[in-house]
Amino acid sequence: MVIISCVQAYLIMSGQHLSGPSQPGEAVWFGPEPALGEVCLPGRIYIALNPEEVLLVETFSDTYSALVSALGQADYAGAEWFAVELIQHREFAPGILFKFDYPVSKKLLTSLLPMFYETDFPFASIDCIFVPKEMGPVQFINTAERQAWQFQPDLSWHVFAAAVAEPGDALEIRWTPLPASDSYSVAAGVYDIAGPALLAVPDWESEEIDFEALVRSFYLGPEVIEESDGTEIYTDGVRALRIYPHGAVEYTLVSAENGQGQLTQADLLKMSLSFIAGHGGWPGRMLPTELENSPAKKRVKFADYAAGLPVAAEDTGVAVEIDGLTVSRYQRKLIRAKPGSVSEHVEVRPFAWLISQPTTKIHQLFVNQDARIHIADLALVYYWHMDTLIPAWKVTLGDRIVYAGAADGRVLAARPLRGN
């Protein structure tokens, strides 16, 4: 009795529950949780016909799936790794360049390449994988460090050879390596469109969520605060689930853990996928486009893809932020393209051309810099702005990300780049 009393007193004083609380979300089911291998996929796949001519495969197209699947079957053949210094884009042609929007750790890479062990890889992380057309060594590339590790695995070479020989499911836009200039340098594997081209902008619709189920997945009996613009806040005083009138969802938990605890990329993604699946469900056809895993912040953002290109904006997609080992923030607003629909065609211009035009805002932004800018990545996206999908260049610089209109070079948004 004395021992039990002491234990109970200790538990009470240390603020712990004597019995486990019921989990609100247990009774609500939004669908299955995706496997890590389903989302640990490259954001873009370039088919390098030759060093100057490159095609961009539509993400989630059949070709994309075939190439990813073929890559996933790569087997360790026992050959030696050797490192090379990355010099120029010509090293990536002809062949297939798989490009990730974030540095992929070797542990997470084993989700994409299940025949490998984490210890098989001699590097810490990479952001590109180049598979040559003619059975040459496969390069695992870290563009930020300008390093590549070559290795000769067993592969279904014919799949890659066929993709190069007869490119399918590629945008009808020719790409070419972005050349460096006096005002900026360019990382390896950065491609710009070769010339002006018309880009079909799909029609869109917002994701429809069962809000009642969503609320129940968080609370048993929350209090509701109604804001002046019609926004509803479901809260218990410590957590708040905000449902905006336009359908966006924002969940906030004030955590006292202050960044304590460490996670691997795989753990971060797993936790995020689990949380998303339990609170609104996994909508499919999403890939992580931003992944930060530092002691200060652990955040992953998944972007929807429309017509093979990601839909990007600050307030679109699904973002999960983890503080310590608890999800402290969850934002969800999905702009989903209507399959096969085209709302308009927009003429997009090469980034190099836009940046060279003194009249464009992006030119002004670049010119006004004190030091030479380094362009780490360049991607064509649909930027969600004012209820419109706008073709835009997502320019990843050394310290920030800038969204510039692909038609007119206007700066749509700029935000600091968080560490990975």
Partner 1 sequence: MKSIQWKLVLIYILLLVFALELFGVYMLSSVEKHFTEDLQKGLHNQVRLISLLAERYFAPQPDSAGLQQLVKQYSNLVGREIYLLDKYGIVVAAPPGQKLMEGKKIVQPEVVSAVQGTADSSIRFDPHTGYRVYYYSEPIYQLNSLVGVVYASASLQNIDRALNTMRNILLTGAVWTLLLSAILGLNLSSTITRPLQKITSRAEAMKSGDFRQKIDIRSRDEIGRLAETFNDLAAKLQQSWDEVIQEKDKIEGILANLSDGLIVFDHSGKVMHINSTACNWFGLNKQVMLSQGTAADFPQLESGRGIIYLEGEMGIVLRQQRLPFLQAGKKQGTIVVLSDITEQHRLDRMRQEFVANVSHELRTPLTTIKTYLEALLENPDEDSAIQRKFLKVIDSEAERMVRMVEDLLILSRSEIRTQEFKLVSIGDIIRDIVQGVEVEAANKGLMLEVRIPKDLPPVLGDRDQLYRLFLNIVNNALSYTAEGSIKISVFSRNKYVEVTVADTGIGIPAHALSRIFERFYRVDKARSRKAGGTGLGLSIAKQIAELHGGTINIISREGHGTEVIVPLPVAPENVLESGAHV
CB of 196 to partner 1, least distance (A): 35
The region of 121-129, 169-177, 188-196, 238-246 touching partner 1 under the rule CB under 8 A is 238-246
Interactions with partner 1, residue window 362-381 (CB under 8 A):
none
Q: Is the Cβ of residue 4 or residue 256 nearer to partner 1 in the bound state?
A: 256
**CA atoms of 243 and 64, how far apart (whole Å):** 35
Structure tokens at 359: 């009249």
1, 3, 4, 15: residue in contact with partner 1 (rule CB under 8 A): 15
- Reference 289, options 165, 16, 57, 104; nearest CA is 104
Find where tokens 């234990």 sit: 7
The pattern of x and - marking residues 178 through 217 that bind partner 1 according to CB under 8 A reads ----------------------------------------
| Among positions 11, 220, 238, 342, the unique one binding partner 1 when judged by CB under 8 A | 238
Q: How far apart are the first and last CA of the chain?
A: 52
| Nearest distance from C-beta of residue 321 to partner 1, angstroms | 12
CA dihedral 324, 325, 331, 336 (to 10 degrees): 130
**Residue 233 lies near partner 1 (rule: CB under 8 A):** yes
# of chain residues touching partner 1 (CB under 8 A): 18
CB of 327 to partner 1, least distance (A): 14
Position among 235, 326, 356, 357 found at the interface with partner 1 (CB under 8 A): 235
Which of 22, 228, 258, 368 lies at the binding interface for partner 1 (CB under 8 A)? 228
In this chain, which of 13, 18, 296, 386 binds partner 1, going by CB under 8 A?
13
The interface mask with partner 1, positions 239-278, x = CB under 8 A, is: xx-x---------x-x-x----------------------
Closest CB to partner 1 among residues 84, 225:
225
Measured distance CA(143)–CA(171) in Å, rounded? 24
Distance of CA 158 to the CA centre of its chain: 29
Binding to partner 1 (CB under 8 A): which residues in 51-110?
none
For residue 378, give the nearest of 192, 188, 144, 176 by alpha carbon. Answer: 192
Provide the minimum distance between the beta carbon of 224 and partner 1 in the complex, in angstroms, as a whole number.
Answer: 8
340 binds partner 1 (CB under 8 A): no
Least distance CB 256 / partner 1 (angstroms):
6
Dist. CA 265–CA 339, nearest whole Å: 32
The nearer residue to partner 1, 114 or 419, going by C-beta atoms, is: 419
**Are the C-beta atoms of residues 388 and 197 closer than 8 Å to each other?**
no
Closest distance between partner 1 and the C-beta of residue 243, in Å? 13
Which residue, 84 or 254, has its beta carbon nearer to partner 1? 254
- Report, in Å, the least distance between residue 113 CB and partner 1: 39
Q: Is 325 in the site for partner 1 (CB under 8 A)?
A: no
Minimum CB–partner distance for residue 230 and partner 1 (Å): 11
Least distance CB 223 / partner 1 (angstroms): 5
What is the torsional sign of CA 108, 109, 111, 117? negative
Residue 334: CB minimum distance to partner 1, A: 20
State the minimum distance, in angstroms, from the CB of residue 300 to partner 1.
20
- Could you give the CA distance from residue 381 to residue 379 in angstroms, rounded to a whole number? 6
Residue 225 interacts with partner 1 (CB under 8 A): yes or no: yes
Stretch touching partner 1 by CB under 8 A, among 76-84, 156-164, 219-227, 303-311? 219-227
The site for partner 1 (CB under 8 A) is made up of: 13, 15, 223, 225-229, 233, 235, 237-240, 242, 252, 254, 256
